[in-house]
A and B are shown apart, each in its own frame.
Chain A
Amino acid sequence: MAGLELLSDQGYRVDGRRAGELRKIQARMGVFSQADGSAYIEQGNTKALAVVYGPHEIRGSRSRALPDRALVNCQYSSATFSTGERKRRPHGDRKSCEMGLQLRQTFEAAILTQLHPRSQIDIYVQVLQADGGTYAACVNAATLAVLDAGIPMRDFVCACSAGFVDGTALADLSHVEEAAGGPQLALALLPASGQIALLEMDARLHEDHLERVLEAAARAARDVHTLLDRVVRQHVREASVLLGD
């Protein structure tokens, strides 16, 4: 079998999308009543669940408390059944820790932490199915969950990945495209201001192409914002209907 053709001559990707098209995004907020905020998101076949508690008093050692702002505590885990091959440990491995730190960075930049000094905000994210772009799915889920919890933020944080194949930037890589081994860039954007909350890329990419890939990722993040905004509005409408009557 010849190598997989990630982008055909006609401009179709393996799953039938064109270069700039996102996968299908479906999301719901408030999936758990017990938590302060919760959300569930599907980006294609990548599925993530986010739960937010707080702001509340510092739990555990009080010395961790910050005098001027809230402590954002993020924990990432992925279900053992989330990947093709069953995983051994659902959390606590290096990759999970790293992902947790990245999420914390992202949300410390987005949440108005100075409004809640000496308190703590917990964000727990779990990936139920990993089919590419787990970071993006986690950020998007966590954004919805934080919104659901009513914690004030500067803006939505919308994340999306982008890759680069045959001189073309591809938005929102699927697992097949990720596994092919090309460069992959993860971007978390505050869409209103256009500020970048987090930008990460592991592979090598020529400087000349970076801008195009970044541009593709940013456009995709904006598209995500549109969709998430729609979800939030829908949720608020439903909630207000329930509250109002």
Chain B
Amino acid sequence: MLQKREKVLLLRTFQGRTLRIVREHYLRPSVPCNSPLCPRPAACRNDGKLLSGDVTHYMVPDWKVVQDYLEILEFPELKGIIFMQTACQAVQHQRGRRQYNKLRNLLKDARHDCVLFANEFQQSCYLPRERGESMEKWQTRSIYKAAVWYYHHCQDRMPIIMVTEDEEAVPQYGSETEGVFVISFKNYLDNFWPDLKAAHELCDSILQSRRERENESQESHRKEYPEHLPLEVLEAGIKSGRYIQGILNVNKHRAQIEAFVRLQGASSKDSGLVSDILIHGMKARNRSIHGDMVVVELLPKSDWKGRTVALCENDSDDKAPGESPSEPMPTGRIGDLEGEIATILVENNISVAPFSEAQMCKMPVNTPENPWKVSPEEERERRDLRKTHLVFSIDPKGCEDVDDTLSVRTLTNGNLELGVHIADVTHFVAPNSYVDIEAKTRATTYYLADRRYDMLPSILSSDLCSLLGGVDRYAVSIMWELDKTSYEIKEVWYGRTIIRSSYKLFYEAAQELLDGNFNIIDDIPEFRGLDERSRQAKLEELVWAVGKLTDIARHVRAKRDLCGALELEGVEVRVQLDEKKNIRDLIPKQPLEVHETVAECMILANHWVAKKIWESFPHQALLRQHPPPHQEFFSELRECAKAKGFFIDTRSNKTLADSLDNANDPDDPIVNRLLRSMATQAMSNALYFSTGSCAEEEFHHYGLALDKYTHFTSPIRRYADIIVHRLLMAAISKDKKTEVTENLFSNKDLEELCRHINNRNRAAQHSQKQSTELFQCMYFKDKDQETEERCIADGVIYSIRTNGVLVFIPRFGIKGAAYLKNKDGLVISCGPDSRSEWKPGSLQRFQNKITSTTTAGDSVTFHLFDHVTVRISVQASRCHSDTIRLEIMSNKPYMIPDTELLHQSAPLLKSDLVKEVTRSVEEAHLAQEVKGNIIQEDFQKYCQTKGRSLYTLLEEIRDLALLDVSDSHGI
């Protein structure tokens, strides 16, 4: 009764071998046809659902039609559908369970006029697959054969239309059998169901989505990244000049598309490339991320886009927080100040755990009961300046860690003696002691917007190493003997000393003294409690010293300017400020001459120490270099200046400084400030390096125009200075022909250390910048933008982009992007009252202006250095930190109402901003505590049980859900 056939399957095993499997396949003479026209219903055993007999034709969909257009076949209008088993199996195997279940339900549903015909188990319908025949062809052939059989089975009474998507099947089978027609699905719908709109629409959308899917799959296929090249190939390629090495910078404003490779010094010279290399698109970027060291290959000039060949060894030290298991993940609510600060620290890989017991136990003590004293041995070793020299310090007001003091006096031979005395940190911090290792890890003191994390324990940084007034301290001194008139340096002495600082001045007071304004003496604590005469004598002495110092500094500086190129206006000072107080840099106070005097003395000391240690240790001294900038980085600066009619000559640091001085718009002081900050940005960063690792001509410090420079004067807050101190001590003992006791770093170790310190410095800068941004965001977060006047401010356009402008807001020191085209594609337009609105239109970007034209024809143009009114808001995000968002409200400068002019004329300093945010956070804490107290009282009043009842738990959960973070910060 059954016929046994064998089907051969070739399967692939997990091991990759081919397995030949033979399966039985039984055929039977009759399977249910489920048609009312069946001549032998008893033999067919038709039970259950039958096709209706009153249709004009039966429709047999091909396997591809069932797979793709099942939704259309589900239309109840379509009647008399015979699904062949072959088609159903194609759905089951290739479309997954969901689609197949849909088909099964359709077949079970009595309302749908469709049946399944098990053609593969029917003796005369079954077709074995021929050798070499593709699966698809065999399926179509089987279905056609079954359709023909079915037609004959119904005694040719009912025409059958086979609907196929196979282009070849239509002509191949179309006219083979009379009564069995083969047409395409689209054709079928058009001919038989022209009125069935829904089906046509569905068909179109299915077609479209299928096409999209195909495109997508092609695209995603194309999106696969090429492999990175092996290291040997890279090295060879870089040497031969085929590949170029550089650091990848992703364009912040078009992060998906644009990235640039900034070339590294040497390679750019060799290949004659003058600009960065554009990396266009994610694929070309090939998985590299911002800050990676990459190797790129240039495409032919016609394409003119680079492609990342491979990631070189990833030099950047910044790990993602998740990667270092020892690093605790920051915890805290989003928007919470402490949590956000912790996040910034983790992001920059800064560990600020308090100093451990082991580190602290080696520290000397200084308590009222047990005061720290100068030890007699040290007294013998060191030169005692306590009696002979007038030593004083000039620092910002309220400074705790005084690491530099100055002295000046007349020698017996009439010459002058200038002294710079730096705290002797290395005396307390022995090499490889616990504190030393910790300080090396931290490498610098971290200054955030509202706090700082010290490099050294506070016993050192603000007490024993701090050169406070009126107490004995160890110091490392440099003293120059100067000619009395020409201030020519005759002799230099380096060594360890004991000093007692007489005055701890602050800048403003020193400046007053210099200007001959003696009212300030009431502010100087050292003068209090003295009788009039001794006070007068002491004052004269001090005023002479400060005056002489200023005179010398002026002279030294002029000489430096003369013998080398002219110094770029306060670049190093500015960078130092950047390391500490970012915003103050952008809102500089009137610089006092005393600032310059102190800075000049420090530069002089640093310079001489650099010379000394390099002479003693030519291959293992730690110096600081500032490489000359790439000219192409100045192009933006030049363009901007040109827009305002200035010419910036960037050929040398002298010409640059001169032309920057000249580029001053009397009406708008901000222009000069912006130009200067752009110049600063264009320059490369100053870096520490080991002298053994590069040639002598590269030691040059561009900003200061010095051939050798190092950091020596702030050992309390910079680890590099500690190293330099040790080097200097070693150099001194070498001069005395005594044993070099210090363990010096080899060139290689020092190089490694420099890299670490440079990285940490960068982290310190980043974290400071981020914390400032955080405070800015928190400041603006809770302001109601509509009503709050402070959210609306005057901004200056300092850069033009294709879809917006970059705006600087002098009042808050904020830089940010303001888009001229929003996410809906609308552009900004300004009406007659200069209020801005969003309207459909287009943007056109020029060299130094951008024009937005609406479809109505209105246009508004923004030039460089235009003043506009912007609204500041905060863009909150759950996965990134919040960012400041700027919105242009009007193209006219913002006019402050006259009544408020008075208290607004002073820009809001960052410190004020920090104070305000901190206060609001504290208030929120306070408010919560008060609430806690109330609950406590309630407990007593109602005799409630204390402890964790279910009610309190639920209340807490409710609080968690409803506590509006913005409320707690409300001011």
**Chain A residues proximal to chain B, CB less than 8 Å:** 1-3, 5, 8-10, 12, 14-17, 21, 23-24, 44-45, 84-85, 131, 174, 176
Query: Nearest chain A CB to B481's CB is how many angstroms away?
Result: 93
B25 at the interface (CB under 8 A from A): yes
Flag if A176 contacts B23 (CB, 8 Å). yes
Flag if A45 contacts B116 (CB, 8 Å). no
A-B contact pairs, 14 of them (CB 8 A): A1-B93, A2-B92, A2-B93, A2-B96, A2-B97, A8-B118, A9-B104, A9-B116, A10-B116, A15-B24, A16-B25, A24-B4, A44-B4, A131-B24
Closest to A8 in B: B118
Closest to A44 in B: B24
Q: Which 4 pairs of residues, A with B, have the shortest CB-CB distance?
A: A16-B26, A16-B121, A2-B97, A24-B4
Flag if B97 contacts A23 (CB, 8 Å). no
B253 at the interface (CB under 8 A from A): no
Flag if A9 contacts B24 (CB, 8 Å). no
Candidates B6, B100, B107, B120; contact of A2 at CB < 8 Å: B100
B28 at the interface (CB under 8 A from A): yes
**CA A5 – CA B4 in complex, angstroms?**
20
**How does the 8 Å CB contact mask read for B96-112 relative to A, with 1 for contact and 0 for none?**
11001000100110000
Q: Which A residues lie within 8 Å of B92 (CB)? A: 1-2, 5
Q: Which A residues lie within 8 Å of B28 (CB)? A: 16
Flag if B32 contacts A10 (CB, 8 Å). yes
**CA A5 – CA B104 in complex, angstroms?**
12
**CA A8 – CA B89 in complex, angstroms?**
11
Flag if A9 contacts B19 (CB, 8 Å). no
Closest to B3 in A: A24
Flag if B104 contacts A12 (CB, 8 Å). no
Q: Say whether chain A's binding surface is mostly helix, strand, loop, or mixed.
A: loop
Q: Which B residues lie within 8 Å of A17 (CB)? A: 2, 26
B641 at the interface (CB under 8 A from A): no
Flag if B97 contacts A45 (CB, 8 Å). no
Query: Nearest chain B CB to A181's CB is how many angstroms away?
Result: 18
Give residues of chain B (483-502) contacting chain A, Cβ–Cβ below 8 Å. none
Query: Nearest chain B CB to A109's CB is how many angstroms away?
Result: 31
Closest to A9 in B: B104
Known: A2-B96, A10-B32. A45 touches B22 (CB 8 A): yes
**CA A5 – CA B108 in complex, angstroms?**
16
Q: Which B residues lie within 8 Å of A15 (CB)? A: 23-26
Q: Which among A8, A10, A16, A84 has the highest number of chain B CB atoms within 10 Å?
A: A16
B917 at the interface (CB under 8 A from A): no
Query: Nearest chain A CB to B790's CB is how many angstroms away?
Result: 63
**Chain B residues proximal to chain A, CB less than 8 Å:** 2, 4, 6, 13, 19, 21-28, 32, 92-94, 96-97, 100, 104, 107-108, 116, 118, 120-121
Flag if B21 contacts A84 (CB, 8 Å). yes
Q: Which B residues lie within 8 Å of A24 (CB)? A: 2, 4, 24, 26
Query: Nearest chain A CB to B297's CB is how many angstroms away?
Result: 43
**CA A45 – CA B21 in complex, angstroms?**
11
Flag if B104 contacts A10 (CB, 8 Å). no
**CA A10 – CA B32 in complex, angstroms?**
9
**CA A215 – CA B21 in complex, angstroms?**
31
Query: Nearest chain A CB to B25's CB is how many angstroms away?
Result: 6
Closest to A18 in B: B28
Query: Nearest chain A CB to B92's CB is how many angstroms away?
Result: 5
Q: A2-B96, A8-B118, A84-B19 are in contact. List 6 more A-B contacts (CB 8 A).
A: A2-B97, A9-B107, A9-B116, A15-B25, A24-B2, A85-B13
Query: Nearest chain A CB to B6's CB is how many angstroms away?
Result: 8
Query: Nearest chain B CB to A11's CB is how many angstroms away?
Result: 9
Q: Which B residues lie within 8 Å of A85 (CB)? A: 13, 19
Closest to B122 in A: A16
Flag if A12 contacts B2 (CB, 8 Å). no
Q: Which A residues lie within 8 Å of B116 (CB)? A: 9-10
Q: Which B residues lie within 8 Å of A16 (CB)? A: 2, 25-28, 120-121
Q: Which A residues lie within 8 Å of B97 (CB)? A: 2-3
Closest to B121 in A: A16
Q: Which A residues lie within 8 Å of B100 (CB)? A: 2
Flag if A23 contacts B93 (CB, 8 Å). no
Flag if B96 contacts A21 (CB, 8 Å). no
**CA A69 – CA B878 in complex, angstroms?**
86
Flag if A9 contacts B108 (CB, 8 Å). yes
Flag if B93 contacts A21 (CB, 8 Å). no
Flag if B32 contacts A174 (CB, 8 Å). no
Closest to B1 in A: A21
Q: Which A residues lie within 8 Å of B25 (CB)? A: 15-16
Closest to B120 in A: A16
Known: A2-B92, A2-B100, A23-B24. A12 touches B121 (CB 8 A): yes
Q: Which A residues lie within 8 Å of B107 (CB)? A: 9
Candidates A2, A8, A21; contact of B2 at CB < 8 Å: A21
**CA A8 – CA B85 in complex, angstroms?**
10
Query: Nearest chain B CB to A167's CB is how many angstroms away?
Result: 16
Query: Nearest chain B CB to A47's CB is how many angstroms away?
Result: 12
Flag if A45 contacts B32 (CB, 8 Å). no
Q: Which B residues lie within 8 Å of A23 (CB)? A: 4, 24, 26
**CA A15 – CA B120 in complex, angstroms?**
10
Query: Nearest chain A CB to B964's CB is how many angstroms away?
Result: 49
**CA A44 – CA B26 in complex, angstroms?**
10
**CA A145 – CA B92 in complex, angstroms?**
45
Q: Which B residues lie within 8 Å of A3 (CB)? A: 97
**CA A23 – CA B633 in complex, angstroms?**
84
Query: Nearest chain A CB to B110's CB is how many angstroms away?
Result: 14
Query: Nearest chain B CB to A101's CB is how many angstroms away?
Result: 30
Q: Which among B4, B21, B100, B107 has the highest number of chain A CB atoms within 10 Å?
A: B4
**CA A189 – CA B108 in complex, angstroms?**
39
Flag if B2 contacts A10 (CB, 8 Å). no
Query: Nearest chain B CB to A212's CB is how many angstroms away?
Result: 21
**CA A15 – CA B9 in complex, angstroms?**
13
Q: Which A residues lie within 8 Å of B96 (CB)? A: 1-2
Q: Which B residues lie within 8 Å of A174 (CB)? A: 23-24
Query: Nearest chain B CB to A139's CB is how many angstroms away?
Result: 21
**CA A85 – CA B11 in complex, angstroms?**
12
**CA A16 – CA B1 in complex, angstroms?**
13
Q: Which among B6, B23, B25, B118 has the highest number of chain A CB atoms within 10 Å?
A: B23
Query: Nearest chain A CB to B63's CB is how many angstroms away?
Result: 15
Q: Which A residues lie within 8 Å of B23 (CB)? A: 14-15, 45, 174, 176
Query: Nearest chain B CB to A3's CB is how many angstroms away?
Result: 7
Q: Which B residues lie within 8 Å of A12 (CB)? A: 118, 121
**CA A148 – CA B121 in complex, angstroms?**
37
Closest to A17 in B: B26
**CA A9 – CA B103 in complex, angstroms?**
11
Query: Nearest chain A CB to B84's CB is how many angstroms away?
Result: 12
Query: Nearest chain A CB to B104's CB is how many angstroms away?
Result: 6
**CA A14 – CA B104 in complex, angstroms?**
16
**CA A131 – CA B7 in complex, angstroms?**
14
Flag if B93 contacts A45 (CB, 8 Å). no
Closest to A4 in B: B92
**CA A123 – CA B121 in complex, angstroms?**
39
Q: Which B residues lie within 8 Å of A45 (CB)? A: 6, 22-24
**CA A215 – CA B2 in complex, angstroms?**
23
Query: Nearest chain A CB to B275's CB is how many angstroms away?
Result: 54
**CA A101 – CA B659 in complex, angstroms?**
106
Query: Nearest chain B CB to A177's CB is how many angstroms away?
Result: 11
**CA A23 – CA B24 in complex, angstroms?**
9
Q: Which A residues lie within 8 Å of B4 (CB)? A: 23-24, 44
**CA A15 – CA B108 in complex, angstroms?**
22
Query: Nearest chain B CB to A161's CB is how many angstroms away?
Result: 15
Query: Nearest chain A CB to B175's CB is how many angstroms away?
Result: 32
**CA A126 – CA B121 in complex, angstroms?**
32
**CA A8 – CA B26 in complex, angstroms?**
15
Query: Nearest chain A CB to B135's CB is how many angstroms away?
Result: 13
Query: Nearest chain A CB to B801's CB is how many angstroms away?
Result: 51
**CA A174 – CA B32 in complex, angstroms?**
24
Closest to A24 in B: B4
Q: Which A residues lie within 8 Å of B27 (CB)? A: 16
Q: Which A residues lie within 8 Å of B6 (CB)? A: 45
Closest to B6 in A: A45
